[in-house]
Structure 1
Amino acid sequence: MQPIKVDALPNRLRNILTTSVIVCTPGTADCTTIDNVQVDTGSQGLRLFASALPATLALPAMAGAGGAAGTGTVSGACAVFGTGYTWGAVRTADVRIAGQLAAGLPIQVIADPTLPTVPADCASSGPPMMTQAVLPVNGILGIGLFAADCGSVCTRNALPRWYYVCDAGGGACASSSQPLASQVTNPVAGFLENNNGVIIELPSVPDAGARTLTGQLIFGIGTQANNTLGGATVLRVNAQTGYLATTADGQTWPRSFIDSGSNGMFFASATLAQCGLWYCPPAQATQTATMTGVDGAAVTLSFSIANAQALFASSNNAFDNLAGVSTTMFDWGLPFFFGRRIYTAIEARPTAAGNGPFYAF
């Protein structure tokens, strides 16, 4: 069990769930604790800002695909999120969280000075999230549905906006394939035990929000007495994309997911008043939607949407009724987690409900 929290951030970004991780030079006791790392079930892999790492902490750079250590190449990684991209070198570290160890884990070091130039195709992916003025955390802890961030498709193909082989002197980078063992990896998948998924457990939040909120990140599903599935509803997702379907307002969104790294619920509504990218109904509104797994299992849920401008005008940081506009997907973001115990099962890892990937709550 690892403590997690929602609290104030420097630029007043709300609904950001964070925790701490311990990062070590592989095979040594040279370690540092990195606080204020965002907990994200919508991505895979640990990504830390170079500025958050002590200069004395030696994390070996991964050689570019096709190169060996010492050949003058470095593996670069581009990670694309809904709000922008991160770019940096792939390095290896021993990562410890709540007593669990992922040894020799490939991680992304964001804005690594070894690779100062962002490849053009990565830079075209959206706004850069390359400074803590933009992304006011020390990194992202991706503990989603998959073990690696790209998977087998990147072992066979040099795809844009994924992996690159770069000149260690800061020169040009070219798209490359990437062996599975060298891809940025979900730390939970690297644990020796309790490695088939995670549970996020957060308390309920009042309609007006809460200034701070604490909960638990629990590793493993059905591996210990405190992480059994019990009577949770299991919703299986597409094994390649991680999507399930959500139906709301008479429309079905096949690109739907549950994501602790999104700070609001994001969906399309023809009835809710908008204020920019957010919904701002004059009075709190109730919405209904149905989630359906790939095996046909379904659950219908009601949730509240408040006026985002009024929420942001308060001093609170955790809201279960914050929502914004998306016309391409249905994103069950962090507000959905409050007052629930939500399971995220990793692909191909066995549980009492069968192999992942699936969500349960």
Structure 2
Amino acid sequence: MQPIRVAATATSTSTRNMLQTSVTLCAPGTDKCQTIDNIQVDTGSQGLLVLASALDPSIALPLVAGNAASTVMAECSVFGSGYTWGAVRQADIRLAGQLASSTSVQLIADSAVPGAATDCSQSGLPMLDASKLRGNGILGVGPFTADCGGGCANSAMPRWYYSCTSAGCTASTLATAQQVTNPIARFAADNNGVLIELPAVPPEGASSVAGTMTFGIGSQANNLLGAATVLKSNSITGYVSTSFSGNQYGSSFIDSGSNGLFFPSATLATCGAWFCPATPQGLSATLISMTGVTAGVSFSVAKSTTLFATSNYAFNNLAGPANGFFDWGLPFFYGRRVFTALEGRPTPAGTGPYYAF
């Protein structure tokens, strides 16, 4: 069980609903380690990304070599809020007594590679320092093993992996085993998914909350599915569907890395990037799995400006508009046990990927 928390972040006091933990990185096969705080927990991505500036230079992580002589690999990681760029290195990752040995990670803004390739730098906000990233890194514990997979192993895809010299970087293939990898997949046990548990919060929010991230599904007494509804997701995208307000959104996902609920609405007033109805609105939707299993969800949307005017950082009713998809972000997690099962790994409810709650 790994402690997780929502509170004011060290680098951005205005950022709400940021789920964070601490991660220990070690030079592979050694006890030269450093624990790095303020790492965001993200069920919507795969693999560990850490700012180079947060890692002590004495923790020497080996570079992953490129496909041509005298080249090294870099990665572009694109998120809804912007992009990160950095070298691909290998590290031992330690979490809650578990070890992911010799696992590829991205070291953001690593001086070992040139600046971001042009097609990557056109991907929005450059999240290359602690203030833009709103922390020291991202821990991706989503439903897949590698962050790209077979597509990047078979062809040089833009905005993914690059082979670099000091003069520049060129899009390149990278074997799946060397790609930035979900560390859960590298554990010797409890390696088929993750359970995130956060307490409920009141309508006005809470100044902070503490919860747990438990590794494995059905592998220990504290990670049993119990009566959770299992929603099998798309084996390629990880998506399920959401039926809401007479429409069905096939691109739907449960994502602890999103700090609000994001969905289309023709009726809710907005204030910038957030909804701000005059009074709190009680809403409902239905999540639908790839096999037709359904789960109803009731949720609330409050006036964002009222929430932001408080000194609270954990909100279950913070939401904003989206176009054509439904993002069940961190507000969904409060007061629930939320499982994310890894692709192809057996669990008591069948193989992943799936969500359950």
Q: TM-score, normalised by structure 1?
A: 0.97
- Does structure 1 residue 200 correspond to structure 2 residue 196? yes
Aligned partner of 1:257 in structure 2 is 253
Aligned partner of 2:47 in structure 1 is 45
Deviation at 1:129, TM superposition (A): 1.0
> What does the per-residue CA deviation read over 1:217-255, in whole Å, with 9 as the maximum and x for residues that have no partner?
000000111111111000000000111111111111111
Distance between the aligned counterparts of 1:90 and 1:328, measured in 2?
33
> What does the per-residue CA deviation read over 1:281-300, in whole Å, with 9 as the maximum and x for residues that have no partner?
11110111111000000111
Amino acid at match of 1:145: P
More deviation in 128-137 or 289-298? 128-137
> What does the per-residue CA deviation read over 1:294-315, in whole Å, with 9 as the maximum and x for residues that have no partner?
0000111110110001101100
Q: 1:220–1:237: structure 2 CA closer, same or farther, 3 Å change rule?
A: same
Distance between the aligned counterparts of 2:204 and 2:116, measured in 1?
41
Aligned pairs for 1:199-218 within 5 A: 199-218=195-214
1:121 corresponds, among 109, 115, 119, to 119
Aligned partner of 1:151 in structure 2 is 149
Amino acid at match of 1:317: Y
Distance between the aligned counterparts of 2:273 and 2:22, measured in 1?
30
Deviation at 1:200, TM superposition (A): 0.1
Distance between the aligned counterparts of 1:34 and 1:133, measured in 2?
16
Deviation at 1:116, TM superposition (A): 3.1
Q: TM-score, normalised by structure 2?
A: 0.98
Distance between the aligned counterparts of 1:209 and 1:143, measured in 2?
26
| SS, match of residue 226 in structure 1 | helix
Q: Percent identity?
A: 56
Contact kept, 8 Å, 2:114 with 2:169, in 1: the verdict is no
> What does the per-residue CA deviation read over 1:31-50, in whole Å, with 9 as the maximum and x for residues that have no partner?
00011100000000000000
2:62 corresponds, among 60, 63, 73, to 60
The number of aligned residues is 355
Aligned partner of 2:4 in structure 1 is 4
1:294 corresponds, among 290, 294, 313, to 290
Deviation at 1:328, TM superposition (A): 2.6
> What does the per-residue CA deviation read over 1:106-159, in whole Å, with 9 as the maximum and x for residues that have no partner?
000011111231101111122211111211201000000000000111111100
| SS, match of residue 133 in structure 1 | helix
Contact kept, 8 Å, 2:50 with 2:137, in 1: the verdict is yes
Unaligned regions of 5+ residues in structure 1, if any?
none
Runs of 4+ aligned structure 1 residues displaced above 6 Å come to: none
Contact kept, 8 Å, 2:233 with 2:240, in 1: the verdict is yes
Distance between the aligned counterparts of 2:4 and 2:112, measured in 1?
32
Aligned partner of 2:93 in structure 1 is 95
Aligned partner of 2:220 in structure 1 is 224
- Does structure 1 residue 20 correspond to structure 2 residue 22? yes
Distance between the aligned counterparts of 1:344 and 1:148, measured in 2?
15
Amino acid at match of 2:88: V
